[in-house]
Amino acid sequence: MKRVVVVGGGISGLTVAHALMNKPALEVMVLEADSRPGGKIWSERVNGFLCEKGPNGFLDNRPKTLELCSKLKIEPLRANERAKKRYILTNGTLKPIPESPPAFFRSNVLSIAGRLRVLYEPFAPKGPEDETVAEFIKRRLGKEALEMLIDPMVSGIFAGDPYRLSIKSCFPRIKALEHEYGSLIRALIKIRRQRTGGVSVAPKGTLTSFPAGIQTITDALAHVLRDHLRTGIRVDGVERLNRRYHLHTSTGPIEADIVVLACPAHESARILTGFDDPLSKELSAIPYPPIVVVCFGLRREMVEHSLDGFGFLIPHKDKRRILGTLWDSSIFPGRAPEGYVLLRTMAGGSRLPEIAMLDDEGIVKTVFDEIRQVLGLRGEPEMIRLYRWEKAIPQYEMGHQERLRRIEERLRAHPGLYLTGNAYRGIGMNDCIENGIGVAGEILDETGHH
């Protein structure tokens, strides 16, 4: 009987354990330092409002997540059709993001010159093996498309800076299309003609959650794993003795044949200090800027805007103090009591980390002042919830691919030691689930139990 210890009870660690739990000759244990499993997937019901502290869903275009939901017997909830309508806030005005190429050329999100520059894209030269998101977009689509469309999108996904993030690490599919077709527009046309299941430059799929919030999936995994899951146990270090791993934990030593570190990279770095310092150093170099999420519950009549859509993001050049606001009660049903709306705003990230570190009162005032004028808010909110993440989303900055290669090189010296989570190859829930299932497959191959 081989013992597998998974360190970290977020979506990644729970997925690995779930994929291994009923395999013969494997004993699986998950250790979570917090008093609750789930990590950054965290839903909270407050006075009838359903607040999400972290992600609010996943796209339904990747089968592994839906297969997992089916195994767990949980029913996904798709976003409302109107949530496809998204806005950019610029110069104090909300402009709808065009949803199709003809709508793009009719829209005024970009100037006429900016739209004509996008038409030059098929003639733009191919770029190097890797470059920043900003360099890639400027070369292919122009500076205005970068500032008005891609920059706010990068804020919405990574809370990151396109001038520092790697295109190959953050948007590998887009970089691959350039390599394969020489042009994103040509790729789009050819793929549409081939009708190969709707693969496109932009991620297709519908935002999906659950009636009781995104935490439903981690709760369901924790329920299935209940005998294998131990919360409130912090791992402080690891040693290898007699071909077994010895974990030093807050409740005493635990031995394992296989260890999966499924915690944030900075936590894995802390655990590996003294065991493999070069590996620990690589992991601790992955940046995690702070983010704050503020939820406001208001009476519907207090909001002038129709809230018809998903919400809005903001180009950095507009010098606002927030990243964007989602109209959660417009996206999914059951997020606010009858006659009320729920707004959720993100602030901080790599470009404005200081905002996320203000005191609670300062953050609430900053955020409410920003959205009051945009949405025409009257009076004060009836519900306020503030969630602070001092280390939020890992940033795949330039050099991330080389870092991953060096990490893999170090891991080869430690058979039975694995790393997974959103710090490496995809930050979304779908990525975490796919990568967790992949690690479980590697473990089964190694132990001969596939």
- pLDDT, tens digit (0-9, with 9 covering 90-100), for 138-177: 999 999 999 999 999 999 999 999 999 999 999 999 999 9
Q: Which DSSP string do the residues of 112-177 spell out, in sequence order?
A: HHHHHHHHTGGGSPP--SS-BHHHHHHHHH-HHHIIIIIHHHHHHHHS--TTTBBHHHH-HHHHHH
CB 20 within 8 A of CB 440: yes
Please enumerate, as own/partner, the contacts of 157-161 that have beta carbons within 8 Å and a separation of 24 or more: 157/427, 158/349, 158/350, 158/393, 158/395, 158/396, 158/427, 159/289, 159/291, 159/323, 159/346, 159/348, 159/349, 159/350, 159/392, 159/393, 160/289, 160/349, 160/350, 160/393, 160/395, 161/350, 161/351, 161/395
* Strand order, beta sheet including 383-389: 93-96, 86-90, 311-313, 324-326, 340-348, 291-299, 383-389
Low-confidence ranges of the chain (pLDDT < 70): 195-203, 449-450
- Category of 73 on φ-ψ map: left (φ > 0), alpha (ψ -120 to 50) or beta: left
CB 327 within 8 A of CB 307: yes
Tell me how far apart the alpha carbons of residues 110 and 204 are, in angstroms, rounded to a whole number.
22
What is the separation of C-alpha 269 from the centre of its chain, rounded to a whole number of angstroms? Answer: 21
Spatial CB neighbours of 223, under 8 Å, sequence gap ≥ 6? none
Spatial CB neighbours of 134, under 8 Å, sequence gap ≥ 6? 146, 150, 151, 162, 163
Closest by CA to 148, choosing from 197, 199, 108, is 108
Tell me how far apart the alpha carbons of residues 91 and 436 are, in angstroms, rounded to a whole number.
43
CB 43 within 8 A of CB 71: no
What is the set of domains in the chain, with CATH numbers? 2-39+215-287+395-447 (3.50.50.60), 43-81+288-389 (3.90.660.20), 110-202 (1.10.3110.10)
Phi then psi dihedrals of residue 388, to 5 deg? -110, 125
End-to-end CA distance of the chain: 15
How does pLDDT run across 41-78, given as a tens digit for each residue?
Answer: 999 999 999 999 999 999 999 999 999 999 999 999 99
Q: Taking the CB of residue 217, how many other CB atoms lie within 10 A of it?
A: 25
Tell me how far apart the alpha carbons of residues 343 and 260 are, in angstroms, rounded to a whole number.
37
Phi then psi dihedrals of residue 404, to 5 deg? -60, -40
The reported pLDDT for the residue numbered 24 is: 87
Tell me how far apart the alpha carbons of residues 113 and 115 are, in angstroms, rounded to a whole number.
5
The reported pLDDT for the residue numbered 195 is: 56
Strand partners, 303: 377
* Strand order, beta sheet including 26-32: 229-231, 26-32, 2-7, 258-261, 417-419
Tell me how far apart the alpha carbons of residues 395 and 372 are, in angstroms, rounded to a whole number.
30
